[in-house]
Structure 1
Amino acid sequence: MHAEEIDYSHGGRKRGGYFACNDAIAGKRPGVLVIHDLWGLGEQPKERARKLAELGYVALAVDLYGDRRQPTALSEALPLVDELRSDNGRFRGLLRAGLDTLRRHPLVDGSRLAAIGFCLGGIAVLELARDGTDLRGVVCFHGNLDTPAPAQAGQVKAGVLVCTGGDDPLIPGAQISAFQDEMKNAGVDWQVNVYGGAEHSFTNVFADRAGIPGVRYHRNADLRSWEAMRQFLAESFGD
Structure 2
Amino acid sequence: MSIKTLELISTTENGVELISYMALPENASDDKPVAGILVAPEWWGVVDYPKSVVERLAKAGYAAVAMDVYGEGKLTTDAAMANMWMEQVLADQDMLMDRCRLILNDFADQMGVNGDNLGAIGYCFGGKIVLDMAREGMPLKAVATFHGNLSAKQPADDKFKAKVLVAHGGEDSMVSMDAVDDFKQEMDKVGADYTVDVYEGAKHGFSNPHADERAANNDVDLGYNEKAAKDSWDKMMDLMKTNLGS
Length-normalised TM-score, structure 1: 0.95
Q: Residue 189 of structure 2 corresponds to which residue in structure 1?
A: 185
Q: How many residues align?
A: 238
Mean CA deviation greater in 207-216 or 123-132:
207-216
Q: Residue 77 of structure 2 corresponds to which residue in structure 1?
A: 72
Alpha-carbon contact 1:133-1:158 (below 8 Å) kept: no
Mean CA deviation greater in 210-219 or 12-21:
210-219
Mean CA deviation greater in 98-107 or 1-10:
1-10
How far apart are 1:238 and its partner, in Å? 4.2
Q: Residue 226 of structure 1 corresponds to which residue in structure 2?
A: 233
Q: Residue 200 of structure 1 corresponds to which residue in structure 2?
A: 204
Length-normalised TM-score, structure 2: 0.93
AA aligned opposite 1:228? K
CA separation in 1, counterparts of 2:123 and 2:153?
19
RMSD of aligned Cα (Å): 1.3
Alpha-carbon contact 1:122-1:141 (below 8 Å) kept: yes
CA separation in 2, counterparts of 1:134 and 1:25?
21
Q: Residue 111 of structure 2 corresponds to which residue in structure 1?
A: 106
Equivalent residue for 1:9, pick from 11, 18, 24: 11
How far apart are 1:160 and its partner, in Å? 1.1
Q: Residue 133 of structure 2 corresponds to which residue in structure 1?
A: 128
SS in 1 for 2:101: helix
Q: Residue 159 of structure 2 corresponds to which residue in structure 1?
A: 155
Equivalent residue for 1:24, pick from 23, 27, 43: 27
Residue 25 and residue 15 in structure 1: after superposition, are their counterparts in 2 closer, same or farther (change >3 A)? Answer: closer
Where in structure 1 are there 5+ consecutive unaligned residues?
none
SS in 1 for 2:138: coil
How far apart are 1:5 and its partner, in Å? 2.4
CA separation in 2, counterparts of 1:7 and 1:148?
25
Where in structure 2 are there 5+ consecutive unaligned residues?
none
Q: Which runs of at least 4 in structure 1 moved beyond 3 Å after TM superposition?
A: none
How far apart are 1:40 and its partner, in Å? 0.7
How far apart are 1:230 and its partner, in Å? 0.4
Identity of aligned residues (%): 32
CA separation in 2, counterparts of 1:231 and 1:225?
10
Alpha-carbon contact 2:10-2:17 (below 8 Å) kept: yes
Provide Cα deviations, 1:197-223, integer angstroms capped at 9, x if missing partner. 110011111111222342111111111
AA aligned opposite 2:172? D
How far apart are 1:112 and its partner, in Å? 0.2
SS in 2 for 1:235: helix
CA separation in 2, counterparts of 1:89 and 1:13?
15
CA separation in 2, counterparts of 1:124 and 1:175?
16
